[in-house]
């Protein structure tokens, strides 16, 4: 616990990194798609933007790695400030861990669809003959564009876990005063608006709200976590 009470902990900075990298991965991975142009055009764009897809997926993997460490640090800080009987810290930590697990599936599926995994890069998009028309390839354009579309969706859904962590944080603030009230209001806003997005059938919103929460929390914790970690846990009431 020495590093929690002396100096400035570095793990909050990984929250900022996770938010920025996940947003960059989403923008870079989806900007190549124009679903109103037909699956042939989509497949061609995905093939033409191979290097961009590689960078987007790399940013995504780095975001998950940063989130894994940030989630562990956040869980430990929450547990140190919550009554022993509270499970809110575990809920927040588990929700972020769930995002990491789901994100591995999402980014792995995207890498498979774009054939950016180690091995033969011509396997998916160009098959045996790069000059073969899309309609005559072993993997039709519809399969290629749909696979990538589904992988992008999976990544959006993955970040819902971070929004759930925001909701748990809000409850912890209002019930146990573990952080300043503005963090509670901000976290509650993220949790409520994400719930509204889900009810409206727009789970893609998690790709925006989760990074926003991570960036704000990362900045707040980087500045104030040393002071908060030195304060005693609130009394059980």
pLDDT tens-place string over residues 183-211? 999 999 999 999 999 999 888 899 999 99
User: For residue 146, what pLDDT is reported?
Assistant: 76
Distance CA 67, CA 181 (A): 24
Mean pLDDT value across residues 26-45: 66
Mean pLDDT value across residues 99-125: 71
Count CB atoms within 10 A of the CB of residue 7: 9
Of 75, 81, 126, nearest to 96 by C-alpha is 75
Greatest C-alpha distance within the chain: 71
Distance CA 57, CA 104 (A): 11
Distance CA 100, CA 162 (A): 9
| CA terminus-to-terminus distance, the chain | 26
Distance CA 123, CA 37 (A): 24
Distance CA 152, CA 162 (A): 17
Residue extents of the structural domains in the chain: 2-230
Residues 208-236: tens digit of each pLDDT: 999 999 999 999 998 876 666 556 555 44
Whether residue 27 contacts residue 207, with contact meaning beta carbons closer than 8 Å, is answered with: no
User: For residue 233, what pLDDT is reported?
Assistant: 54
Look at 29-33, 95-99, 136-140, 218-222 and tell me which has the smallest mean pLDDT.
136-140
User: For residue 169, what pLDDT is reported?
Assistant: 97
Whether residue 184 contacts residue 173, with contact meaning beta carbons closer than 8 Å, is answered with: yes
Tokens 């400030």 label which residue? 81
Tokens 């009554």 label which residue? 83
Residues 159-169: tens digit of each pLDDT: 999 999 999 99
């Amino acid at each position: 616990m020495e590093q929690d009470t002396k100096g400035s902990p570095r793990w909050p900075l990984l929250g900022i990194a996770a938010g920025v990298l996940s947003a960059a991965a989403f923008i870079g991975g989806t900007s190549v798609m124009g679903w109103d142009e037909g699956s042939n055009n989509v497949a061609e764009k995905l093939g033409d933007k191979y290097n961009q897809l590689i960078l987007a997926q790399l940013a995504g993997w780095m975001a998950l790695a940063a989130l894994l460490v940030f989630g562990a640090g956040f869980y430990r800080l929450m547990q140190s400030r919550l009554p022993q009987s509270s499970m809110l810290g575990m809920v927040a930590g588990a929700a972020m861990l769930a995002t990491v697990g789901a994100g591995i599936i999402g980014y792995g599926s995207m890498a498979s669809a774009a054939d950016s995994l180690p091995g033969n890069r011509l396997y998916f998009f160009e098959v045996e003959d790069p000059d073969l028309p899309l309609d005559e390839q072993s993997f039709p354009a519809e399969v290629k564009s749909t696979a990538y579309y589904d992988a992008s969706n999976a990544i959006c859904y993955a970040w819902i876990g971070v929004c759930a962590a925001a909701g748990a944080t809000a409850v912890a603030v209002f019930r146990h005063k573990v952080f300043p009230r503005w963090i509670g209001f901000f976290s509650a806003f993220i949790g409520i608006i994400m719930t509204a997005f889900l009810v409206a059938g727009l789970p893609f919103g998690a790709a925006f709200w989760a990074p926003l929460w991570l960036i704000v929390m990362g900045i707040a914790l980087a500045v104030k976590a040393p002071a908060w970690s030195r304060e005693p846990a609130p009394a059980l009431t």
